[in-house]
Amino acid sequence: MSNKRLIFIPVSSPQGIGEYMRSLLLAQSLESECSNPLDIHFILNKHAIYAKSCPFDTTLLEHSPTKELDKVCRFITEYKPDVVIFDCAGRAAHMKAAKKVGAKVVFISQHAKKRAKGLKLNRINLIDSHWVVQPDYCIEPLSWAEKTKIDMFSLAMPQNVGPYIAFSSKQQTQQVLDSYKLDKKDYFIVSAGSGGHIFNGENCADIFFAAAEQISAKTGLKGIVIFGPNYSKTLPKSRAVINLPSMDNSEFLSLLEQAKFALLGAGDTLLQAIAVKTPTVACAISKDQNERLTSCESTGVVLKASFDKSDIVSKVNDLLLEPHFEELLNKYSQFETAQGYKVITQGVKKMLMEAK
């Protein structure tokens, strides 16, 4: 019996990394949880630095897969996958190619505009499952027009499942803390995402690093700064903080969960911080993050800072003030946001079991 085949097609670019990291974590989770071996293949933009280090078989393209119509369709036709997972990527023609070879099609979206792409009429009967990796409070409800389209045509109903997170065991978490010589709640963690985002001519990771040094000096806490795999410069040296080029997703989540607080961009890591109940100051470092950050701020589970070192440091100071800090911790109990891992992993496993 031949191995079941999966193709992962996330948005990939020299700037962002969230879609790829989510696809990578899902691929690794399926590989470890499925009883039978899987053949897993990624299709990525070759200009994304992480593309060359993907641990799975990979086809590299000149652009993000969404812009490569014929090459992606041809590969799907030749590979004959059982499941194709489009993470914020994919065109109707790609999905048609997948359905033509009998594959199940998964579409993952993360905000209203991407969700709307899964509800275009040229997607009728093409998407089997549409999962939205946002909690309910973080994304606007479906519009009347979108609900009407779903009722009238065979469009997959988007399901809000929250961020895709694989929690670490207590033993794994302690091993990570020991490896960096850290104690629980005695450090803070900083990440500006992929390391490729530029704001007003400056790399966002550099601004976060400068803020982290000042925060460490003020609080006496150790800082862990992850610059991101797309950061192209030599890491700066520092006595105040630990600078790392990148970090395994499970390690990052372990450190995020046990940190006193976090300084983050408003991408997937922000939702992860909320899910593990770590107080956070966040900045929107790309256009698609503004709405998410505003929604999270309105619920009282995050402090929003403008992208300015002095404002970031000021907001961290506000975050740590009592009784505000304890009030923020109590807020997290109101939100159940981490169903994504279970729903998506189990959903894809079911598709693989049903594949002929």
Given the structure tokens 């006193």, which residue do they identify? Answer: 260
CATH, domain range 170-334: 3.40.50.2000
The CA-atom distances, in angstroms, between 141 and each of 120, 134, 136, 154, 337 are 17, 11, 8, 19, 16
pLDDT for 290 equals 85
Burial class, 325, CB count within 10 angstroms (exposed 0-12 / middle 13-18 / buried 19+): middle
pLDDT digits (tens, 9 = 90+) for 162-173: 888 877 778 889
pLDDT digits (tens, 9 = 90+) for 13-45: 877 788 898 999 999 999 999 988 999 999 999
> Would the pLDDT of 218 be above 80?
yes
For residues 297-304, average pLDDT: 86
pLDDT digits (tens, 9 = 90+) for 121-164: 999 999 999 999 988 888 889 999 999 999 999 899 999 998 88
Which of 24-38, 85-99, 241-255, 335-349 is the least confident region?
335-349
> Would the pLDDT of 1 be above 70?
no
pLDDT for 297 equals 86
CATH 3.40.50.2000 fits 4-165+339-354, yes or no: yes
**Residue 154: Cβ within 10 Å count:** 10
φ, ψ for residue 187, nearest 5 deg: -155, 165
What is the distance in angstroms between the CA of the first residue and the CA of the last residue of the chain?
Answer: 10
pLDDT digits (tens, 9 = 90+) for 321-356: 877 788 777 777 666 556 888 899 999 999 999 887
What mean pLDDT, rounded, does the chain reach?
90
Which of 6-10, 154-158, 287-291, 318-322 is the least confident region?
287-291
- Spans of all domains in the chain: 4-165+339-354, 170-334
pLDDT for 338 equals 61
Banded model confidence at residue 235, pLDDT cuts 50, 70, 90: very high
Domains 4-165+339-354 and 170-334 share a fold: yes
The answer to whether the beta carbons of residues 302 and 327 sit under 8 Å apart is no
Which is higher by pLDDT, 275 or 315? 315
Which of 81-85, 198-202, 231-235, 313-317 is the least confident region?
198-202
Percent of the chain beyond pLDDT 90? 60
For residues 194-204, average pLDDT: 83
CA–CA distance, 218 with 274 (Å, rounded to integer): 24
What is the sign, positive or negative, of the torsion defined by CA atoms of 261, 258, 184, 192?
negative
For residues 256-275, average pLDDT: 91
pLDDT for 321 equals 86
Longest CA–CA span in the chain (Å) reads 61
For residues 71-96, average pLDDT: 96
For residues 73-95, average pLDDT: 96
